[in-house]
Amino acid sequence: MGDCAFCAIAAGETPAAMVLATDDLVAFLDVRPVFKGHVLLCPREHVGTLPDLPGRLRDPFLAAGQRLATAVVDGLGAQGSFVAMNNTVSQSVPHLHLHVVPRTKGDGLRGFFWPRTRYADGEAEEYAARLRAALA
């Protein structure tokens, strides 16, 4: 899909701090993370919402989500993770994506109010590298 930001990332046309790349999936850091290390997992092919996900991608998608949830703990020292996706409503990019957000007790995240932060120059790649190492 020509105007989809996540399709452009998956195709390598738009740079991103890549965490995981397979033939079918990509995972990269959110540019406006809830907490640093916040990863977005997407199918490479344009899929709008979870109900649209082809059956052949269900298991690989969930398996990658599990690996990323483990990686934020092992690679970033988080105590756990918040894993979520929106379908249409509140979906800022209309391409299926799973949020994997590192969590620690007392981090201030309450309900569905998601404060956003930014990475300092070069910091996104450092976080992405730590997550890649935890996935290896």
| 97 annotated active-site | yes
Helix/strand/coil for 60:
helix
Sign of CA dihedral 125, 90, 71, 25: negative
Task: Give the active site residue among 38, 46, 95, 97.
Answer: 97
How large is the angle between the packed helices 55-76 and 123-135, nearest 10 degrees?
110
Residues taking part in catalysis: 97
